[in-house]
Amino acid sequence: MRQGLSGSVDAARRLLALLSLLASGTEASRWSHWWSYDGINGPTYWGLVNKDWSLCKYGQHQSPVDINPKLLLFDPNLRPLRTDNHRVSSYVVNNGHDITVYINQSKGRPFEFTGGPLSYSYRVHHIKFHFGSGDHKGSEHKVQGRSFPLELQIYGYNSELYDTYKTAEFSAHGIAAIALFPFMFQIGDANNEELNLLIKEIQNIPRKGRLSVYCHQALDRLLPETPDYMTYEGSLTQPSCWESVTWLVFNRPMHITQEQV
């Protein structure tokens, strides 16, 4: 890495400013959009205001988690994660809570991943960008109490057992999610062209409810080149907080260049 630390911080701040702007918008009237990450609408109250969200308050395997590397156990039987390598059609939505990239399930071949701790194949349904207003408070997962500016989450559903994501999200072995977050947007020499194209589409949806078509995405190129990851059984991180998710958290950053931010 040739860029200095100050350059990396400045670039990350500019990207965070863009993402914070994208999250702005009017309050939704629908109950399903009532929740937020702050105040009386925040996670502390999700399980109290809606009986369908009770797991958010009383669940035993809730995500996100604070990862303590000293407590991790090495499993020599875990396999490498395997993914498809073809492009898929997708579209980007600003829903007011985050930026979500939905994979077009009716066009072309689906994109699936398996291996690692997974006994089934999982079909990618959507990707979420989580971000905050500061340099270190955007990620949902933490490491030893530390948050990070950004977290990218790739969600797939068990296509061998279930026909749809909606059915899988409250079912056993239903969802697998890949999380990329520690320093994932640090400045490096490698130009992640897939992320570059995605960021350009994000710039086209500055307000809640806006949609941008983004076709022919190579999802495998968003992943870091490493076989190392941490895995645990957890939940969705938004209401209804179903405990049906196998999480894979990669420990390598995603590199982008100064021009990408």
pLDDT digits (tens, 9 = 90+) for 90-124: 888 888 788 899 998 888 889 999 999 999 999 99
User: Is residue 162 annotated as part of the catalytic site, yes or no?
Assistant: yes
Angle between helix 193-202 and 5-22 (nearest 10): 40
| pLDDT for residue 17 is more than 80 | no
Q: What is the 3-state secondary structure (H, E, C) of 66-110?
A: EECHHHCCCCCCCCCEEECCCCEEEEEEECCCCEEEEECCCCCCC
| Across 135-157, average pLDDT | 85
Candidates 238, 234, 260; CA nearest to 248 is 234
| pLDDT for residue 76 is more than 80 | yes
Greater confidence (61 vs 94) lies with: 61
Task: Report pTM.
Answer: 0.81
Q: Where are the domains of the chain?
A: 5-260
pLDDT at residue 221, rounded to an integer: 82
- DSSP-based three-state secondary structure for 152: strand
Mean residue pLDDT across the chain: 80
Question: Of these residues, 91, 162, 214, 229, which one is catalytic?
Answer: 162
| pLDDT for residue 147 is more than 50 | yes
Lowest mean pLDDT among 30-34, 135-139, 149-153, 193-197: 30-34
Greater confidence (172 vs 108) lies with: 172
Task: Please tell us whether the domain made up of 5-260 is placed in CATH 3.40.50.300.
Answer: no
Residue 69 near residue 144, CB atoms below 8 Å: yes
Q: Which range is most confident: 28-42, 118-132, 162-176, 194-208?
A: 162-176
